[in-house]
A and B are shown apart, each in its own frame.
Chain A
């Protein structure tokens, strides 16, 4: 459960890596491990089965050798003379006894020691308190007194027996190890006991038999007497008095692994001995060991390589998502400007694409709906405000007052008529678009009322083509600019001339308002131009509210291709309004366009 929870909270990249490890490395490792162990096990079992068979052959050969030696006393029966000597008891003359000794020992020597290529070290015959001996090597011990002991025990047992060097005091020169095989001699014709023959068999014969299975002396071969645990032969150490405990070998015939050694055991010599074969497994499985090392190295390389590769792949998957996350965060903070680059056409690429699309949509929505509505409302409010400035009305009324006092009745009528016309123009609220002529007349009315006030200080000139009546423009686009000119011009100068010109290009209408006032202060101009170049709706509440408001309205209505430009000429300032050239007949469609704009937002 903890693991599940932890896993859930891991990052995608770690999840991918972990899944990969679980799905690839662990199965491969387990598979490799199991294949290797199964293989080793199979190989061990195969060799384990082979070793006892091999041993059994050697054991059979040893058995045969021992059996051959055990059967050797038969040779004695072939010589009637020898049997006759043995039948004699020891009560004879010394000369006779010596003669018999000589004959017997010569016979033993010729027909036992030199007759075959056996490994006999010596032959001893104990009979009736006599010892006949023929040996290939000098020896000591084994005198008459002992002869009686072994002879009697053998007579009782009525069978052959095998003695180890520890059992008797017989010692050969060079301390050669031997198996002493005792065989009772029977007078077959009289069915009586004649004596005992001992044949000392050099254990080197085991060495010779097992030579082929020793594998360059890597293996150790032992011949063990089962009952006493004594070692009769050991290929690794000479003269071992070591006693092997009874339960050291768990089985009688077979093979097993212990302490890194493979040990094979098989019974030998009438089941009374055990032939043991020991070989270190590293000798046996040297090649497998090498294969294992190589496999492990390859496996580690595979892990390193695949983890690198997979990290790369996981990174490639998770990185775009991380980028998306970062971008989403910035969107959360209100930054809609940045979209992401789409580099791939996979799921993540498509996701990014969709995301980009969404961001753009959201951005458009915000701009074209929310901001536009806001600006529109602001602009409309301003338009309302600018219809008739109370200050202007106050000034006009003051002028009328002076005129009445001066008795200039005609002038008063003129001003009042003009003011009334202006008020009517302003009051016509439902209409957003007017003909250019109407707009120009309204500006002329405004200028003429101002002229009543300023007299010669203000002069103007309007110039517009015939087409003006048929051209539609937004209401109140000229008045704020003219107002500005008068305001700043008369602040610094005694008189000002305002020149209003209408140009027409094939698809554009250019309204130029030119004055000979002080012109724009360069710093203010840069600031203004910057503001005008901005997207509509992102207008700061600046001091130049009039200008930017006009610019915004034009841009909102017609797009960014249209707007307001500022310029300082030789003396004074020039403001140009760029509008599309539209006929009055298109008035409806203009409204429709606006409505379209509206809906899209």
Chain B
């Protein structure tokens, strides 16, 4: 009896390794992909300055692209002319619809900031893009390029083409546009610092209206006979100016630089009337705006150097999100861009 129990005991001791799957430890998997399927549909309202100009049409394409890839519901609606009151009306309608995100290219910050601030109070995430409102009225401003860099770049390209001396004018959009005013500021600053022989004669305004742009171009060309260059910092400026120069037959005497859609400038570039034009991709801007809206709604922190799918890395400076570098369009590459 004792022997048996002893043998049993020893056997028990030896039988310790078993062949079954014995789970030792289960580590909790950290919450994987942050909510892959958004249960709640997000409404994003994008309000451009005007609807029917190429620049904002390109933005609309980018917005639609982003809506497809992000799955968000995106409304794109702007005034038919760049009229602040019309834009205000549109914004109010969106606020009433209780959209989740409101992204506006602001025509007149003074007029529209109160509405945007009101929308914010109602819990709507307010973004501005392309043109900023007053800082307290929005969460983030999505800027296309760094204002200082753009201003300097535009003046540098002009100076290079006209030989760093002579008179020039600037065609801006409207006085109320904060970012156009900022670019203007940097152009003037750069002018004072580096180009003493370059003289800015006037800043004219297009009011984001092709007709006004044409009229103003015509007026300044006539007003300043020694004019060497035009810098257009609103997208309607350079095409209008180029058309005027062609009409007046002074395309070779006056250099145009500035911001314009390559499609608008295609002919002028190819014919050599304009050597180069600068812009960013409005498609990319539209795309980025929707993506930022979506990310913010998902609760993602927007950080400097963040990588946005199909956009690249963005810079964040305070409440300003900078999309990237401007693109220079020339006769060689203008065909590559479809906006």
Contacts and interface: CB of A to CB of B under 8 A. Distances in A.
Given A18-B1, A158-B69, A254 B27 contact: yes
Interface string A311-353: 0000000000000000000000000000000000000000000
A270 B29 CA distance: 12
A549 interface: no
A354 interface: no
B336 A87 contact: yes
Interface in B262-298: 280-281, 283-284, 287
B2 A21 contact: yes
A138 interface: no
B16 A37 contact: yes
B6 A188 contact: no
Contact of A48 (B6, B25, B29): B25
Contacts of B26: 251, 253-254
Interface in B152-174: none
A141 interface: no
B338 interface: yes
A250 B5 contact: no
Nearest to B336: A87
A267 interface: yes
Contact of A254 (B5, B13, B23): B23
A161 to B, nearest CB: 14
A294 interface: no
Given A87-B336, A188-B281, A188-B311, A36 B21 contact: no
Contacts of A191: 61-62, 65, 281, 283-284, 287, 310
B27 A53 contact: yes
B4 to A, nearest CB: 11
The size bracket of the interface on B is 35 or more
B192 to A, nearest CB: 31
A32 B13 CA distance: 9
B250 interface: no
A258 B21 contact: yes
Contacts of B33: 270-271
Contact of B9 (A33, A40, A281): A33
B307 A33 contact: no
A309 B136 CA distance: 94
Nearest to B262: A189
Interface string B1-27: 110011001101100111111111111
B21 A188 contact: no
A189 B327 contact: yes
A215 interface: no
A49 B25 contact: yes
B312 to A, nearest CB: 6
A250 B21 CA distance: 8
Interface string A240-279: 0000000000111111111110100011001100000000
Given A48-B24, A84-B336, A254-B24, A259 B1 contact: no
A572 to B, nearest CB: 79
A256 B27 contact: no
Given A17-B2, A158-B69, A253-B29, A188 B24 contact: no
B28 interface: yes
Contacts of B19: 258-260
Interface stretch (A22-30, A115-123, A124-132, A379-387): A22-30
A51 B16 CA distance: 21
Nearest to B32: A271
A252 B22 contact: no
B339 interface: yes
A21 B312 CA distance: 79
A190 interface: yes
B13 A296 contact: yes
A255 B27 CA distance: 8
B189 interface: no
Nearest to A20: B2
A207 interface: no
Contacts of B337: 189-190
A47 B333 CA distance: 62
A47 B26 CA distance: 12
Contacts of B10: 296
20 contacts: A21-B5, A30-B9, A45-B25, A74-B313, A84-B333, A186-B310, A188-B281, A188-B311, A189-B327, A191-B61, A251-B23, A253-B26, A253-B29, A254-B25, A258-B20, A258-B21, A259-B19, A267-B29, A271-B29, A296-B13
Given A190-B336, A258-B20, 19 more contacts: A21-B5, A26-B5, A29-B9, A33-B13, A52-B25, A56-B27, A74-B313, A190-B338, A191-B283, A191-B287, A253-B26, A254-B27, A255-B23, A257-B21, A259-B19, A260-B17, A267-B32, A270-B33, A303-B6
